[in-house]
Structure 1
Amino acid sequence: MDKGRLEAFSDGVLAIILTIMVLELKVPHGDGWNVLLPQWPVFLSYVLSFIYVGIYWNNHHHFLHASEKVSGSVLWANLHLLFWLSLMPVTTGWMGENHFAQLPVALYGFVLMMCAIAWQPLQRSLIAANGGKGSLLAQAVGADWKGKVAVAMYLGGIPLAFLAPWVSCVLYATVAAIWFIPDRRIESRILK
C-alpha cells in the first residue's frame, strides 16, 4: 500500500486537532494585562498540548518517511493513535478551564498515556511492514527507552493528580521535554 494517503489523512486530522484546540482560547474582553490573567491556565494547557501534538506529528512524519510500505495493520494502528489524539482538545480545554483541578489533570494524563500506548502498535506494525525485527527501522527504534519512561511517568502522574495536580503537570511537561529534544535514532540510521 502507498503511504501517501495515510500521511495526508493523518496530517489533516492533526491539523484539525490543533485548530479545535486554538478555537477553545477565548478572546479577552478589554485591553489591559488584568484581562489576560484569568486566561493563563487555558493558555498554559494549550501550549503543553500543542507541543504534544507537534511531537506526535514530528515522530509520525519521521516514521512514515523512513517506511516504504504500509499495511492494513498500520492503517488500524494509525487510527487507534489518531483516536486518542483527537481527545486532546477536550481534555486540554477541561483542564485549563478548571485551573488544573484533580480530575481534569488525571484524565489529561490518561489520554496522554493512551496516546503513548497507541504509538507502540503503530511503531510495531510499521516495522513489520518494512522488514521486521532485522530492518533498519527496527534497529533505529532499539529499546525505545523514551516510550517506556513516558508511560511510567503517566502511570505515576495519573493517581498523583488526586493528591498534587501540579506535580502531575510537571511530570507531563517533563515527558514532553524528553520527547521535544530531537530524536536522532531514525535520522542517524536511515535518513542519510
Structure 2
Amino acid sequence: METNRLEAFSDGVLAIVITIMVLELKIPHGEDLTALFPLWPVFSSYALSFVYIGIYWNNHHHMLKASERVNGQILWANLHLLFWLSLLPFTTGWMGENHFARWPTFFYGLNLLVTAIAYYVLQTSLVHLHGPRSLLASAIGRDVKGKASPFLYVLGIVTTWLFSPWGGLVFFVGVALMWLVPDRRIEDRLEVRKSDT
C-alpha cells in the first residue's frame, strides 16, 4: 500500500486536534488588556501543545516521504500515535485551566511520554518494513534526539511529582525547543536521492 491515504488521514486528525485545542481559549469579557491576563495559563498550555503538534506533523510528514509503502502493522502503529495525540487537547486544557497544578501537569507529561513512545513504534515499524539499508533507516541513524526525548519526559514527570510542576515544565519545554530546530536528516537524504536520479 502507498503512504498517501495514511498521510492524508493523519493530517486531518492533527488539524482537528489543533482546532479542538484552540476552542479552549474563551473570549474575555472586557475590552482592556487586563481582561486577557486570566487567559495566560490556558494560552501558554495551548501554545506549547501547538508547537508539539507542529513538531509531530513535520516529522511524520518527512518520515512518510522517505517511505515507499505501508502495511497493516504500520496503519495500526499510526492509529496508536494518533490516539495519544488526540488526547493532547484534554491534558492541555486540564493543565491550563488549573494553572499548571501537579496532577494535570503530571498527566500532560505522561501524555507526551506515551506519544513519543508511539512515534518510536511507528518509526521502528517503517524501518523494519523498508529494511536497515533503506533511505529512512540511514536518515534516522542513531536518532539521539529521539532517544533522549522519552528520558527527558520521565525526568519532567518525576520532577513534577516530587518537586514542582514548574520544574517539570522546564523539561517539557526543553524537549519542544530541542525539536523546534528542524531535523534535516530525512530532508537531506531525500535531496541526495533526488540529485542522484
TM over 0.5, yes or no?
Answer: yes
For structure 2, the 5+ residue unaligned runs are 193-197
Q: Displaced runs of 4+ in structure 1, greater than 6 A?
A: none
Q: Tell me the distance in 2 between the aligned counterparts of 1:66 and 1:103.
A: 39
Identity %: 60
Q: CA deviation at 1:190?
A: 2.4
For structure 1, the 5+ residue unaligned runs are none
Q: Tell me the distance in 1 between the aligned counterparts of 2:132 and 2:54.
A: 28
- Superposition RMSD on alpha carbons, in Å? 0.9
- In the other structure, the counterpart of 1:135 is 134
Q: Write out aligned runs for 1:88-107 (5 A).
A: 88-107=88-107
SS of residue paired to 1:161: helix
Q: Tell me the distance in 2 between the aligned counterparts of 1:77 and 1:191.
A: 27
Q: Tell me the distance in 2 between the aligned counterparts of 1:143 and 1:113.
A: 20
1:42 maps onto 2:69 in alignment: no
Q: Tell me the distance in 2 between the aligned counterparts of 1:164 and 1:154.
A: 14
TM-score by length of 1: 0.97
Cα pair 1:66 1:191 within 8 Å, conserved: no
Cα pair 1:67 1:126 within 8 Å, conserved: yes
Cα pair 1:137 1:190 within 8 Å, conserved: no
Deviations 1:114-173 (A, max 9, x none): 01000111101111222x111121011011111111101111111211221111111101
Aligned AA (1:155)? V
Q: Number of matched residues? A: 191
Q: CA deviation at 1:20?
A: 0.2
Larger mean Cα displacement after TM superposition, 176-185 or 161-170:
161-170
- In the other structure, the counterpart of 1:155 is 154
Q: Tell me the distance in 2 between the aligned counterparts of 1:191 and 1:129.
A: 22
TM-score by length of 2: 0.95
